[in-house]
Amino acid sequence: MTVRARIIETGAAVPDRIVGNEELARLTGISAGSIRRRTGILERRWAAAGEATADLATRAGMQALERAGERPEDLDAIIVSTTSPDTPLPATACHVQRLLGARHAFAFDLSASCSGFLYALSVGEQMIGAGHARRILVVAAEVKSRFLNFNEGETAILFGDGAGAAVLRPAEDDRGIRAVTLGADGSLADLIGIRAGGSRLPPSEKTVAEGLHAITMQGPRLFRRAVRRLETAVIETLKAQALVIGEVRWFVFHQANGRLLDKVTARLGIPPDRSISVIERYGNTSSSSLPITLDAALQGGHIKTGDLVLLAAIGSGLTWGTALIKW
């Protein structure tokens, strides 16, 4: 019999610096009111100088471990989802392992953009099911503020920094991760990405001068694709599990922007009181937005034991995923 994995506890961390719409208005030339109307965002957090992805990941991970009553040295594995690593190598997860003092854990990164937490959750779930690990720390962490071009204001106004974490252990009852479904479509890779910095277009004076190390996005096309793909992913997951919208207590979506969240929930017929959003406070924190939002829902007392919770995300690649969890 396959062992089911369960999220025992969560944690979250964001930088201290709050960046409001007035500050971004000065940087981009887009008015504060327009930023709010277009995105639903009031403020976001940006990392301080010298503050890196691993620092935020470690804070979120330690918080989750303390809440779970676990010691870092008892971890079997650390999985970090990020597209803004501290260094090209070694993996950010190895920095996190060192900072936590989790000396017995193996550690690695994966990269699936805004869907990354679900990809990491799926890997952790499979490791527990196969008996390869019993205590796993899954972290999604991003410092996107280092990759913004304020001349492309429509993109720059969206992103913030942060980290979210989850401690996985084998479930001892019928609670836990029921299903994780993942997908990708590389033919749409041009909709959002960073053009330079890898082996195809290595860093140079020219790439820096041309702003090719910043996030670039085809907003309208991406919006349309993301809405349809997220809607379809949720419908397919519910159908595969023989469920309907009304049987799921909470829906937690990647916090891309407020308009997208409103559109997806409206198309699916999800009542406002069954969807959690933190977009106003944190903006789009890429792969960390899902666990940050999940943590907010748990700490706010919204999610109760026995609730069915559906997580869903879409990101660059395009990649997407869903997870159905009985809490």
Q: Which of 21, 94, 254, 257 is catalytic?
A: 254
Q: Is 94 a catalytic residue?
A: no
Q: Which of 94, 95, 114, 257 is catalytic?
A: 114
Reported as half-sphere exposure (CB side, CA atoms, 13 A), residue 11 has a value of 23
**Residues 239, 244, 248, 251: is their CA dihedral positive or negative?**
positive
Do 84 and 147 meet the contact criterion of CB atoms below 8 Å apart?
yes
Q: Is 114 a catalytic residue?
A: yes
**Residues 233, 235, 236, 237: is their CA dihedral positive or negative?**
positive
Structure tokens at 17: 């610096």
| Nearest-angstrom CA–CA distance, 45 and 43 | 7
Q: Which residues are catalytic?
A: 114, 254, 284
